[in-house]
Structure 1
Amino acid sequence: MSAIAGIGTDIIYISRIEHSYQRFGERFLVRILGEQERLIFARRYRLNPQRGIRFLATRFAAKEAFSKAIGLGMRMPMAWSRMQTLNAPSGKPMVVLNDELRSWYETRFGAAHITLTDESDLVMAFAVVESLMGSSATDHKEN
């Protein structure tokens, strides 16, 4: 049985993300999305701009929720583009970390879980990270 090491949640107005994208364009995408997420965003945005913005907003919320669950916020080694939320073949959202963040994460935590939801004007993400086997959540605090 695994223990929960951290949880995080984030809720955001889609219009806030849309405004940032309109203002900063590609710079915003590169800062926020990982490489695979940028490819998905481009495909969705090309087919339907609103669908692309909704994807961008859910990924923004997922990164915020995950950063809270691991207790770092947006401090190194956590950075927006280092954590991606991609979909398993079943459609289930899954956390994918780049090498630098993954090596830090794997010494402290077990599995990571993320869920996303959206409404007409809001998106929300919820993240749960498990403890390493045989560890308690307090073992992961850094001095």
Structure 2
Amino acid sequence: MEALAIVGPIVQGVGGFVANRKNAANLEAQATEEVNAGENQAMRVRAQARHAIGGQIAAQFSNGFEGGTGSALDWLAESQVQATLDMLELRRQAGSKARSLKSQASQARTQGWFDLVGGLVGAGATAHQQQIDKQRVESNWAAPRMPG
């Protein structure tokens, strides 16, 4: 029973440490996935914008305008600027999510260390208390008995 009281907090601390390390690894992987997903979305926006701009140029020429000049050129430039801003926003959002997940991973790793140390300290405190209790019992038995 005494050994179990000492080993229990150690096992609990190690379990918390391992679980938090695993959680941190999962959060780090999620952060990488967020960045990759953001980049993929940005590339889709880029492809869609190029397709739309190509359609705008074709429409300009088909309507008898000289494509890519004057206000038509301004329109194309504005479309490209908006597409670039959309891409940057997607990347910014993905980066923000990734930073948040990495911060959570760091907190999980720190909590794991606290769990481990707490388990070891708890086991040490239990062992110390058991030693004090044992000495108290032994000293009571060894104390001279007064007739009563």
| TM tier relative to shorter chain | under 0.3
Q: TM-score, normalised by structure 2?
A: 0.24
**Bigger helix share:** 2
Structure with a larger share of its residues in strand: 1
Q: Relative contact order, CA 8 A, sep 6+: which one is greater?
A: 2
TM-score (norm: length of structure 1): 0.25
Q: Kindly name which structure, 1 or 2, has the bigger radius of gyration based on alpha carbons.
A: 2
